[in-house]
Amino acid sequence: EIVLTQSPATLPLSPGERATLSCRASQSVSSSLVWYQQKPGQAPRLLIYGVSNRATGIPARFSGSGSGTDFTLTISSLEPEDFAVYYCQQGVSWPATFGQGTKVEIK
């Protein structure tokens, strides 16, 4: 099973600041890496697929990068609605696995 480790667990930032979230895999996932956003009481929402492709309707301030085992989700300038929990997930091998999440909170 591929283990995904996200860091930091919590990221306190202010609106307008840049957020950088990390996801590290225990072995290569090639480009089969996606990011989701989850707000309290809601189902997750797809943000980024295939490392760097924004899903439909996702603003350009969200971007993804990386390859192999190290991946990054960047939010260039935080909007109030971006404070949420973010999860990475790999689909290169079964079982699929999620990272434990990074909570972006208001400082």
Partner 1 sequence: QVELVESGGGVVQPGRSLRLSCAASGFTFGRSGMHWVRQAPGKGLEWVAIIWFDGSKTYYADSVEGRFTISRDNFKNTLYLQLNSLGAEDTAIYYCARDFRTGWIDYWGQGALVTVSS
Our finding on whether 72 is near partner 1 (CB under 8 A) is: no
How many other β-carbons are positioned within 10 Å of the β-carbon of residue 86?
Answer: 25
Is the peptide bond between 80 and the residue preceding it cis, with omega within 30 degrees of 0? no
- What DSSP assignment string belongs to 74-86? EESS--GGG-SEE
* Contact indicator for 57, 65 with CB cutoff of 8 Å: no
Our finding on whether 58 is near partner 1 (CB under 8 A) is: no
Our finding on whether 106 is near partner 1 (CB under 8 A) is: no
Question: Can you tell me which of 55, 61, 72, 83 binds partner 1, judged by CB under 8 A?
Answer: 55
Question: Can you tell me which of 14, 80, 95, 107 binds partner 1, judged by CB under 8 A?
Answer: 95
Please compute Rg for the chain using Cα positions: 13
**Which residues 11-30 are close enough to bind partner 1 by CB under 8 A?**
none
The residue (of 38 and 76) whose beta carbon lies closer to partner 1 is 38
Our finding on whether 89 is near partner 1 (CB under 8 A) is: yes
Q: How far is CA 3 from the centre of its chain?
A: 15
Our finding on whether 63 is near partner 1 (CB under 8 A) is: no
* Contact indicator for 70, 45 with CB cutoff of 8 Å: no
Binding site for partner 1 (CB under 8 A): 1, 32, 34, 36, 38, 43-46, 49-50, 55, 85, 87, 89-92, 94-101
